[in-house]
């Protein structure tokens, strides 16, 4: 067996985009995307499209917030509505956009390819996990239209505020989050089982593409921490409905215990949103830099370190909640040290680019902007981990700026990068590069314009979650709102690109990037079975620039995969 050299991927075999016919009881054509499909690729794209719909909704909610904050007085929506909007914005963006897309969409689409399987370990559970999301999302949105309105206590739902705001909206919020948490747990179990048990014979753990490791770590976090959130929210709903006193100080409850339980999930949730993005970067950079991923082993260990440390840093959200001094000290140290494995990953990505032959396309531009944004957010994160620093800026716009640099500048940039990278695989067609770069430019400038000034606002006295503020902060808030408008505009070229290219885009061929990871060693889009013949054994997923005779690996060549007769 020899390694597939890049020229092998110019295989003459072109698959038609409609290929991949009916198997079993699955509907055909676009209808399968509305069905209870068991195909991991269909489910992945269901997650993706559903997630993007909620992203546009969450973005519209952010637009309401930035419009309100364009002036220092509360003049755009009522104060109650404003709190509903900020609660929905946070909940939609976290539970209906980033977590489902960066885990569910890319995880479902890619993981079976990466382990050499034809589907996930539990296809029905997989479909159930996806189909929990639309009803939960619709339920959450519908609460806006009921009497009393949606939940008003922020996505954190701290009692006693969440016990005193209109009860029905809060209970619906809890039910939605429980459904979404359930979906997340089902997905996590499925990923762990698939990665550990469905690997193609002969494929070792340390030969897996890095995204598998990221998803394994993420899924462990999901399975360990999401049940804690579920239990906490169930107790909170008892307090609201049955007037129990778990978190109600008037009935002997303790409000700070809720915060501990909440953040026990919700800090790992940051890593649930960020680790898969780390995995995706590790797939995208080597392909477009034409270089092996630098330091595979240390990358794996740093993921493991982030998972372990990520479970013991939650109380850094509570430095002003009256936590005892020793606890503040412990969580400062744990939080600071998570910067070390994270730093290793960033240095390794830079080393991956070093001496590469970098194609400056939309995918790599978004990936590199991710590095810029995340390093900035990481530096402010280490600062925030220091108790004395945090005491001043906790619950201010500094924190708002910081976590948008992590989740938007980090994860959302990578979602876009990944869409540009894998769109040819999903559809068999390329996205337009010019529109892609325009999208990148608008997003990058708009994002920094929107969130960079917020750090100064927080340092100088603007708390978060306010509908009105001191007039001396007006100018920078307006700059921030202009940035938000630019981000809204930036989605237009993206949308046009994605929709038009699906029909008129340049035909991509099976492997336009000449990538070596297994999802590219089949047709685009792939057949239902993923590979017509046997799954390829890819032991060096990043073997770029390596002469075939230097590797003693077993690998099926592209010709062998594609020369099998099609049905």
Shortest spacing between CB 420 and other proteins, in angstroms:
16
Alpha-carbon gap, residue 350 to 355, rounded angstroms: 10
Total residues interacting with other proteins, rule: CB under 8 A: 97
Q: Does 383 engage in binding with other proteins (CB under 8 A)?
A: yes
- Identify the residue among 380, 417, 490, 501 touching other proteins (CB under 8 A): 380
Q: Which of 208, 234, 275, 518 is nearest to 411 (CA)?
A: 275
- Residues 154-193: x/- map of binding to other proteins (CB under 8 A)? x---x-xx--xx----------------------------
Q: Distances from the Cα of 113 to the Cαs of 173, 426, 513, in angstroms? A: 36, 13, 17
CB of 336 or CB of 554, closer to other proteins: 336
Q: Residue holding tokens 């957010």? A: 377
Helices (H), 132-209: 133-142, 161-164, 167-197
Shortest spacing between CB 183 and other proteins, in angstroms:
27
The footprint of other proteins on residues 531-550 (CB under 8 A) is: 542-546, 550
Strands (E), 379-463: none
Q: Does 560 engage in binding with other proteins (CB under 8 A)?
A: no
Q: Which of 493, 404, 492, 418 is nearest to 452 (CA)?
A: 404
- Residues 349-378: x/- map of binding to other proteins (CB under 8 A)? -xx-xxxxxxxx-------x--xx--xx--
The footprint of other proteins on residues 240-299 (CB under 8 A) is: 249-250, 253-256, 289-298
Strand partners, 507: 429
DSSP string across 246-267? SS-GGGT--HHHHHHHHHHHHH
Q: Does 379 engage in binding with other proteins (CB under 8 A)?
A: yes
Q: Which of 416, 408, 294, 325 is nearest to 367 (CA)?
A: 416
Which DSSP letter does residue 507 get? Answer: B
Please answer whether residues 548 and 516 qualify as being in contact, where contact means their C-beta atoms are separated by less than 8 angstroms: no
CB of 50 or CB of 280, closer to other proteins: 280
CB of 227 or CB of 343, closer to other proteins: 343
- Identify the residue among 234, 329, 489, 492 touching other proteins (CB under 8 A): 329
Structure tokens at 173: 């919020």
Q: Does 24 engage in binding with other proteins (CB under 8 A)?
A: no
CB of 125 or CB of 372, closer to other proteins: 372
CB of 186 or CB of 473, closer to other proteins: 473
Alpha-carbon gap, residue 206 to 195, rounded angstroms: 12
CB of 38 or CB of 65, closer to other proteins: 65
Please answer whether residues 508 and 524 qualify as being in contact, where contact means their C-beta atoms are separated by less than 8 angstroms: yes
Structure tokens at 176: 């939605």
CB of 495 or CB of 548, closer to other proteins: 548
Alpha-carbon gap, residue 89 to 406, rounded angstroms: 16
The footprint of other proteins on residues 422-481 (CB under 8 A) is: 455-456, 459-461, 463-470
Shortest spacing between CB 336 and other proteins, in angstroms:
5
Shortest spacing between CB 302 and other proteins, in angstroms:
9
The footprint of other proteins on residues 189-248 (CB under 8 A) is: none
Alpha-carbon gap, residue 425 to 435, rounded angstroms: 19
Alpha-carbon gap, residue 389 to 404, rounded angstroms: 19
Q: Does 529 engage in binding with other proteins (CB under 8 A)?
A: no
Shortest spacing between CB 553 and other proteins, in angstroms:
13
Strand partners, 418: none
The footprint of other proteins on residues 46-105 (CB under 8 A) is: 74, 78-80, 82-83
Strands (E), 43-119: none
Q: Does 130 engage in binding with other proteins (CB under 8 A)?
A: no
Q: Residue holding tokens 């067996």? A: 1
Stretch binding other proteins (CB under 8 A), from 219-227, 262-270, 389-397, 552-560: 389-397
Shortest spacing between CB 474 and other proteins, in angstroms:
14
Alpha-carbon gap, residue 38 to 300, rounded angstroms: 30
Alpha-carbon gap, residue 446 to 456, rounded angstroms: 17
The footprint of other proteins on residues 305-324 (CB under 8 A) is: 320-324
CB of 12 or CB of 325, closer to other proteins: 325
């Amino acid at each position: 067996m020899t390694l597939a050299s890049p020229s092998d991927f110019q295989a003459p075999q072109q698959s038609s985009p409609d290929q991949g016919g009916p198997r079993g009881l699955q509907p055909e054509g676009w209808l399968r995307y509305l069905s209870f499909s068991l195909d991991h690729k269909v489910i992945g794209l269901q997650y993706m499209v559903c997630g993007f719909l909620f992203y546009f909704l969450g973005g519209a909610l952010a637009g309401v917030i930035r419009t309100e904050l364009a002036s220092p007085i509360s003049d755009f929506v009522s104060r109650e509505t404003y709190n509903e909007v900020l609660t929905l914005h946070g909940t939609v963006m976290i539970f209906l956009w980033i977590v489902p897309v960066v885990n569910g969409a890319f995880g479902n689409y890619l993981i079976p390819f990466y382990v050499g399987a034809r589907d996930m370990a539990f296809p029905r559970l997989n479909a159930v996990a996806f189909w929990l999301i639309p009803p939960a999302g619709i339920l959450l949105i519908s609460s806006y239209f009921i009497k009393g309105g949606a939940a008003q206590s922020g996505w954190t739902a701290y009692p006693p505020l969440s016990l005193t705001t209109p009860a029905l909206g809060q209970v619906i919020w809890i039910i939605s989050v429980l459904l979404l948490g359930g979906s997340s747990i089902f997905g996590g179990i499925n990923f762990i089982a698939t990665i550990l048990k469905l690997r193609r014979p002969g494929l070792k753990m340390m030969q897996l593409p890095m995204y598998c490791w990221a998803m394994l770590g993420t899924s462990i976090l999901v399975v360990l921490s999401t049940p804690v959130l579920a239990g906490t929210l169930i107790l909170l709903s008892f307090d609201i409905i049955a007037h129990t006193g778990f978190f109600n100080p008037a009935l002997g409850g303790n409000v700070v215990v809720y915060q501990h339980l909440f953040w026990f999930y919700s800090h790992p949730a940051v890593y649930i949103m960020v680790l898969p993005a780390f995995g995706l970067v590790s797939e995208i950079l080597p392909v477009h830099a034409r270089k092996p991923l630098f330091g595979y082993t240390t990358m794996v260990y740093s993921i493991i370190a982030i998972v372990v440390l990520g479970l013991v840093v939650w109380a850094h959200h509570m430095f002003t909640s009256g936590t005892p001094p020793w606890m503040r000290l412990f969580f400062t140290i744990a939080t600071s040290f998570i910067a070390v494995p994270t730093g290793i990953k960033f240095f390794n990505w830079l080393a991956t680019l070093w001496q590469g032959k970098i194609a400056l396309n939309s995918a790599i531009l978004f990936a590199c902007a991710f590095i810029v944004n995340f390093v900035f957010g990481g530096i402010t994160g280490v600062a925030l981990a220091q108790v004395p620093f945090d005491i001043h800026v906790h619950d201010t716009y500094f924190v708002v700026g910081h976590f948008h640099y992590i989740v938007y500048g980090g994860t959302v940039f990578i979602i876009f990068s990944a869409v540009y990278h894998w769109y040819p695989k999903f559809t068999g067609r390329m996205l337009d590069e010019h529109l892609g770069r325009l999208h990148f430019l608008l997003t990058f400038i708009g994002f920094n314009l929107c969130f960079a000034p917020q750090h100064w606002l927080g340092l100088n006295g603007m708390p978060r979650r306010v509908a009105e503020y001191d007039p001396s902060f007006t100018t920078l808030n307006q700059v921030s709102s202009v940035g938000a408008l630019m981000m809204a505009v930036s989605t237009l070229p993206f949308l046009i690109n994605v929709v038009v290219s699906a029909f008129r885009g340049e035909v991509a061929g099976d492997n336009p990037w000449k990538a070596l990871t297994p999802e590219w060693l089949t047709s685009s889009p792939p057949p239902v079975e993923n590979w017509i013949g046997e799954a390829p054994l890819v032991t060096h997923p990043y073997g770029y620039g390596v002469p075939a005779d230097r590797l003693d690996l077993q690998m099926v060549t592209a010709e062998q995969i594609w020369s099998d007769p099609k049905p």
